[in-house]
Amino acid sequence: LVFLLALRVYSQDVLPSKCRPPWFAERLGKYPDALEVLTVKTPLYSLVFQSEEPKPGLEMRCLRTTNITVDRSSWFASVTYEYYEFEKLEKIRIHGTVVASTIHSWNSYISDNTIEFYSGQPLVGTPLASLEVIYNDNHCILTKSQMFGFQVWVTTSYLTTKDEVPYTCTLLYEICSGKAKHFVYNIANCQNDPAEGGK
């Protein structure tokens, strides 16, 4: 429930002038692809940091996807996630599911570049959130939304083996955001979790 409340925003605000996804794409040889984010072989991601400080009660520590299943007829995706709430010495695991679809919001792109999240099907009304994919590759994603600002998501398997954020996403975050990083992922709290193995 907390996750759904945190996402209850329709985001697509204007990007800073220095944050130019088409320019990034031309030079990096990789255009944003929202559907690719949902359909890659092992689409399990952890949110590492974001530009907006989480509101009290909506911190969602160690937020990560645990499964993404795409319906190949409708191209809607069922996204299951989990995060932790910390109360004194107790760590409580919270689970949930949202439905995701992709839309095309930049004419200069061939692929859809925005992911919209809904509480369930049918997809009616205003989405809970709309995340614009600024950049994505095999290891990380840079997104933009109104409530969370810029966010960097990294494949959980990369985090567990490398203990770092890929340089490209960090660089693009700094170019686009110019703000301090508010960390959601903490190695001590998030990585030493048996349930994370193999993701």
Among 1-5, 95-99, 173-177, 179-183, the range scoring the smallest mean pLDDT is 1-5
CA distance 28 to 73: 32
Q: Write down the pTM of the prediction.
A: 0.85
Class of domain 2-190: mainly beta
Q: What does the block give as tokens for 161?
A: 């083996």
Mean pLDDT, all residues of the chain: 85
Instruction: Indicate whether 28 pLDDT > 70.
Output: yes
Q: What confidence category does residue 152 fall into, taking pLDDT thresholds of 50, 70 and 90? A: very high
User: pLDDT tens digits for 85-142?
Assistant: 888 778 899 999 999 999 988 777 788 999 999 987 766 778 888 999 999 999 999 9
Place of tokens 């369930």: 120
Q: What confidence category does residue 14 fall into, taking pLDDT thresholds of 50, 70 and 90? A: low
Specify the DSSP class assigned to residue 137: -
Element (H, E) at 184: none
Cis bond leading into 122, ω under 30°?
yes
Strand ranges in 41-186 using DSSP code E only, listed in sequence order? 45-50, 61-70, 77-87, 90-103, 114-118, 129-136, 140-145, 149-155, 182-183
DSSP result, 86-125: EETTEEEEEEEEEEEEEE---TT-SS--EEEEESSSS--S
Nearest Cα neighbor of 85 from 65, 64, 58 is 58
Contact 173, 183 (CB under 8 A): no
Question: What Å distances lie between residue 131 and 98, 117, 157, 192, CA to CA?
Answer: 14, 8, 22, 29
Domain ranges of the chain: 2-190
